[in-house]
Structure 1
Amino acid sequence: MHASFRFILRGTVVCACAVAPWVVQAQSAAVPVVVPVVSPTMKSDGSGQYVCGGVGSDESVAMRAAMKDHPLSLLFARASGAYLADVAVTVKNASGATALSLVSNGPICHVDLPPGRYTVEAASEGVTKSQVVTLGGGSKTADFRF
């Protein structure tokens, strides 16, 4: 009887090992849980609207995918390529009036402004950079490296 007991114990271990691949397959064949990425909401300022974000890989992918849906997208990074947030942004229209002013809370900002020519000024870590963009007829991207 003692030998049979050992056989049953060994048989149980073998059965557990034999079942393990089936359990793994069942887990991998299960329907994945999809957690929607909540995009930041648009804010209004001056004559335009904006949304900034891109912190974390899911939000970054979502913000990059949405670039085509906005007249202007702004990207902020260090010279090394590392993303940068807390960038002070001022957008001025052709007459020099401020159309939009914001501080980014992420490395990507989408800006919705009427068609026209604008000067975008971005300031970070004591350095200010500017670019002139003309909006209308498609989306534009302004890349600022500090």
Structure 2
Amino acid sequence: MHGMRRVARLLAVAGVAFGTLHGQAFAREHVAGAPIAIECGGIGEDEAARMRAEGASHALMIQFVSIDGGFLADVHTRVDDPLRDLRAEADCGPIGLVDVALAGRYRVTATYDGRAQEHWVNLKPGGGARMVLRWLE
């Protein structure tokens, strides 16, 4: 079990490092078998439309908005399963697409301008869940 956890952590770290270089938490070609992956983007109408259209095929689509409806970027986002010691993190927005390898209860923590929100959600691979997170600016 420790071996699997270590591999999962290495995959998550590799994905975040790769994403930092390319502006996404994980490349569009997710690491095969990664337990949790976040694709961040949605800047520009074409990319936002593509990500919204693809949202139903991912475990979760998160939209980050201000209370007046404006889109937010650079929202530090973490999706984790503390019981399995799995996580993925990225600076995300205005849209984040989350994929999970296993169905379960996951914690979504998002921080914008020093203010954090935490939500627990039941996710499954390709489940099509949606979440809108709002902040006062």
TM > 0.5: yes
- 1:29-40 equivalences under 5 Å are none
Q: 2:118 aligns with which of 126, 130, 133?
A: 130
Aligned residues: 106
Separation in 2, partners of 1:116, 1:94: 11
Whether the 8 Å contact between 2:41 and 2:47 is mirrored in structure 1 is yes
Larger Rg: 1
The aligned residue for residue 142 of structure 1 is 131
Give the one of 45, 54, 65 matched to 2:53.
Answer: 65
The runs of at least 4 aligned residues of structure 1 exceeding 4 Å deviation read: none
User: C-alpha separation between the residues in 2 aligned to 1:87 and 1:98?
Assistant: 20
Q: Secondary structure at the match of 1:52?
A: strand
**CA distance in structure 1 between the aligned counterparts of 2:74 and 2:29, rounded to whole angstroms:** 17
Match of 1:111 in 2: 98
Q: Is there any run of 5+ residues in structure 1 with no aligned partner, and where?
A: 1-39
- Kindly indicate whether the alpha-carbon contact (under 8 Å) linking 1:49 and 1:111 is maintained by their aligned counterparts in 2: yes
Could you say what the CA RMSD is over the residues aligned between the two structures, in angstroms? Answer: 2.2
Q: AA paired with 2:52?
A: R
Q: Structure 2, unaligned stretches of length 5 or more? A: 1-26
Identity over aligned pairs, percent = 31
1:54, 1:63 within 8 Å by CA — same for their partners in 2? Answer: yes
1:92 & 1:50 partners in 2: Cα distance?
11
- Which structure 2 residues correspond to residues 73-88 of structure 1 after superposition, within 5 A? 73-88=61-76
CA contact (8 A) 1:42 1:49 kept: no
Q: 2:36 touches 2:86 (CA, 8 Å); kept in 1?
A: no
What's 1:120 paired with?
108
Greater RCO between the two (CA within 8 Å, min separation 6)?
A: 2
